[in-house]
Structure 1
Amino acid sequence: MSVIDLNSDVGESFGNWSFGDDAAILASVSSANVACGFHAGDPVGIRATVRAAVRTGTTVGAHPGYRDLAGFGRRFIDMDPGELRDDVIYQIGALQALARAEGTTVRYVKPHGALYNTIVHHEVQAQAVVDAVRAVDSALPMLVLPGSVVERRAAEAGLRTVAEAFADRAYRPDGTLVPRSQQGAVLHDMDQILEHVFRLVDGAVRAVDGTVLPVNAGSICVHGDSPGAVAMAENIHRELTAQGVTVQSFA
């Protein structure tokens, strides 16, 4: 693969609580998954993140999640599908307005946290998210875990999907992510992360049991709130470029 997208979750600071260095990490990634206010983010901070993305030429995407500020959107919520659909529509719309105020647009959607993981296997919630994206703009691509229910549902609805992999997360043998509650779920060693990323670029991932799984990823996520996230993104971008891989947004 000679071209790959690097994405990062940003815009997640809220009031006096600061998460990540958005301005710094945006210099190394090509797509910004911007929080929409339900799991994290406030209007001032979200708009500032969009403004920073405009300065760095980074593509802006919506990062909607469950209405769960206290849990940072990392707790499953058993929602009525119509309510979930409208919550996602609301969040995309809020980011669209702030992006327009900064002279740019929302170009894709990536669900956040527990919602992202739930729609890997939950048929009803996956359909609700797909319905929301289609209602807002059927031309918006969705970043999804490959082989997930939402990937299938989106394709059935005529939406474009882009398979995503994770630079700093461990994988289970079934291709899903190791839950954050388990030891070793998040990778921290830079050499291990780079080996992991280059394997992803080559179309594979090594699971925690040593199994090598095929992965056709169009985008690789570097979590913006991880310790050392800025240095991680800089290293990944630099090493990919050195090996002739172009970092470029899929959208």
Structure 2
Amino acid sequence: MKKRTIKEINELMASISKEEDPLFQEILEDERKGVHQIIERWHKSQQKQQLLEKQFNDMSVYEQEARSFGYQKIAGIDEVGRGPLAGPVVAACVVLPEDFKLLGLTDSKKLSKGQRDLFYDEIMYRALAVGIGEATAKEIDHLNIYQASKKAMMRAIDDLHGISPDHLLVDAMELPVDVSQLSLIKGDAKSISIAASSVIAKVTRDRYMEKLHSKYPEYHFDKHMGYGTKVHLEAMKEFGILEDHRKSFAPVKAYL
């Protein structure tokens, strides 16, 4: 019997999911160094997959618990943009189907831009409903950042189309709504629904800041997204304060 090439074995290993597979046992007997390297990579890939599966299952506990109490339309809510000196605070409200699965989804701050963009498209396509709300820099100055964040979350709920959630999983906030809710500290790392909303909110806000960069390239908003970096502070000092700057924030006040 003709021995398979390294390339052929590499392609075959991609279709194997269990060590008990007879094909895997056959490949295991191949003593070539290249085959041993393929098997080692396969083991590492399987370990990574198992960790992602566990992470997803751990982050689905609150959704499963809510469903055990009879809730069916569970919405995760999160906001991004409390800390920057410019731009809005943006919130998202996401209702996922019961069979939703997206391995690797977690707190948007822990994901790369490429991962966030990919997950954003997947969530927007597969979610039962997505609502987005924001509070402008002017509203943040008027209300304070905490109240503005709450307002953005309320607007995100109001922006849901066709679905009224019967239970809310909210990141570190209690909302004044007549709907069952659970506030979770660091919820974007504990609940898959909140993680999904954090990705939607983060990508939405980043795209807003990238558009602001196109309008005011001298501020380099595409690099710092409005946070108080050295480049941003120097730009405020040289070019002044914009309408999108939060004038109630101390570093901005210094340049008024």
TM-score bucket of the superposed structures, by smaller chain: under 0.3
| TM-score normalised by structure 2 residue count | 0.25
| TM-score normalised by structure 1 residue count | 0.26
- Greater helix percent: which structure? 2
